[in-house]
Structure 1
């Protein structure tokens, strides 16, 4: 067993069976919202009779959120404050929350009070039906139509088509997970938005349910159109992981062979013109294109071979399987 596998195994083994859910809240400059949010989460879960822990991950806030969380965590046994050294982004904050969660069921939501903590029991009930991930769907979203709703709808359509996971609302942070689904996910960039797609790659059973959504009461939104480029780049990464993660040669090799074949065909044609018809080909742009296609094809094919070696090294060095087992049934199962 590798060090990474041992670390994951330890995190799964120290799960607290007495906890029904770990609620993870990434926080960045939400000092006004936090007291209300923590109270509402505790009220919702207490009234539902669910044991819980709240993990607030402060992502380098500058408005006093970290200080407030430190004070609250010292007073409340149900609250754990994880304070990051600087602002790493929501993906890193969620990854930290996953690491420190102790329950077998995990719920994430934003710290701005737009997600409703009263929906947490609904997500957990759906998770208990046998799903690995339950995503919230903000049917009546309370955001600006032009700058938030329209880009979000377009993004959801694009992400669903590229990843194959059809969800109405990828951007909703209110989601419920089984701990083992996120235990070995390595998150970076803006990949928190694509957690359903990443879970789908691992064979997770995914669904969504409608949840409530409220207008922002305090502070300012941290999202904007500026994130579009990063999201698109991460979407391309997800598509490659989903389609060619264990067989990169299939894409690099294919384009390499096509490019080489086309360049060779053009080269043979130009050779016929030169030797067969006696025409001059030195000043023809087609000659340059043929050379570039052949050289580019060889490079793409070489990239494919290197990518294959890297993927084999990745899986073999970590002992990471290329499959995920949902369940093993039998009398003599080791």
Structure 2
């Protein structure tokens, strides 16, 4: 057997985590320094506007294993993860957040599962013990919806805390779409996967950077990137309205055939009701089509998913 160590890249996107990232780096080092692998750290700064970059530069100066990628602006969590995975050149990569909620103590277990032959170790957040909240309720609803309407099954509670072998990582890198939902993309590539449950930890400090607006955008990327069901829903509603129109036509004809046209009511209110229903359905369907056209427009422009402003690595 070769004596060459297996190389592992730790891809860690960060955004405004000054005061947190030093603690996270030390905690990860405490875990990986005792493992028989050759580790490298790829920190991706996603346009931070606090002291995060300066802190990361100090970490890179002190640790030759650290590579710092600085994006030109805030492109989003999925784009930052993509930048780190694109920069990875090792035998495998592990992605985790820099806020301390993804426990690095699970890295040895993830590596052991990869050694058993799995291509992907996907962690699943187990938060049943957490109190009910709006975020927890909407998250469960989203996963149920995406699994119903898409042909790709996305694990409920899946996190962007996962290990990937080089073949699985290359397969993901071959998917260049602009609107990215990595949890769905990882399932879509179909490589052998094992689920590793974990209990999320409290943030070291600060607040979550995933605002309601960002969660809605991520959910839209997932729905409109992995499913055409919204269009089929509009088509089905159109078919139902046509059937109702046929029934109405037959109903009116029955009065003419029997000579009871005097019994026909003017029906202004019912007419307006039908017009509003049809108009609303048409507007919804046009909205769905418009979103898909907008996604296509952004794809065909072929703009990069992210732009790197600066890079720091120790030779």
**TM-score computed with the length of structure 2 as normaliser:** 0.70
* Partner residue in 2 for 1:33: 20
Of the structure 1 ranges 76-85 and 267-276, higher mean CA displacement relative to structure 2 is found in: 267-276
Matches within 5 A, 1:286-301: 286-291=270-275
Distance 1:203 1:282 in 2: 60
Distance 1:230 1:35 in 2: 26
1:258 has 2:240 as partner: yes
1:154 has 2:137 as partner: yes
Alpha-carbon RMSD across the aligned residues, in angstroms, is 4.2
Distance 1:94 1:298 in 2: 38
* Partner residue in 2 for 1:109: 96
The 8 Å contact of residues 264 and 290 in structure 1, kept in 2 or not, is answered as: no
Cα drift, residue 118 of structure 1: 2.5
* Partner residue in 2 for 1:221: 207
Distance 1:114 1:308 in 2: 34
Of the structure 1 ranges 264-273 and 20-29, higher mean CA displacement relative to structure 2 is found in: 264-273
* Partner residue in 2 for 1:79: 66
The 8 Å contact of residues 270 and 281 in structure 1, kept in 2 or not, is answered as: no
Cα drift, residue 180 of structure 1: 2.8
Matches within 5 A, 1:1-334: 20-139=7-126, 145-146=130-131, 150-151=133-134, 153-164=136-147, 165=153, 167=155, 169-170=157-158, 172-177=159-164, 178-183=168-173, 184=175, 186=177, 188=179, 195-211=182-198, 213-217=200-204, 219-223=205-209, 226-227=211-212, 230-232=214-216, 234-235=218-219, 237-239=221-223, 241-244=225-228, 250-273=232-255, 276-279=259-262, 280-291=264-275
> How many pairs are equivalent?
288
* Partner residue in 1 for 2:150: none
The 8 Å contact of residues 42 and 66 in structure 2, kept in 1 or not, is answered as: yes
Distance 2:123 2:86 in 1: 22
Cα drift, residue 48 of structure 1: 1.3
Unmatched runs of 5 consecutive residues or more in structure 2: 148-152, 303-315
Cα drift, residue 181 of structure 1: 4.2
Aligned in 2, Cα 1:240/1:304: closer, same or farther, shift over 3 Å? closer
Unmatched runs of 5 consecutive residues or more in structure 1: 1-16, 319-334
More strand by share: 2
Cα drift, residue 114 of structure 1: 3.0
* Partner residue in 2 for 1:331: none
Distance 1:306 1:63 in 2: 37
The 8 Å contact of residues 24 and 98 in structure 1, kept in 2 or not, is answered as: yes
**TM-score computed with the length of structure 1 as normaliser:** 0.67
Cα drift, residue 111 of structure 1: 1.0
Of the structure 1 ranges 31-40 and 208-217, higher mean CA displacement relative to structure 2 is found in: 208-217
Cα drift, residue 103 of structure 1: 2.7
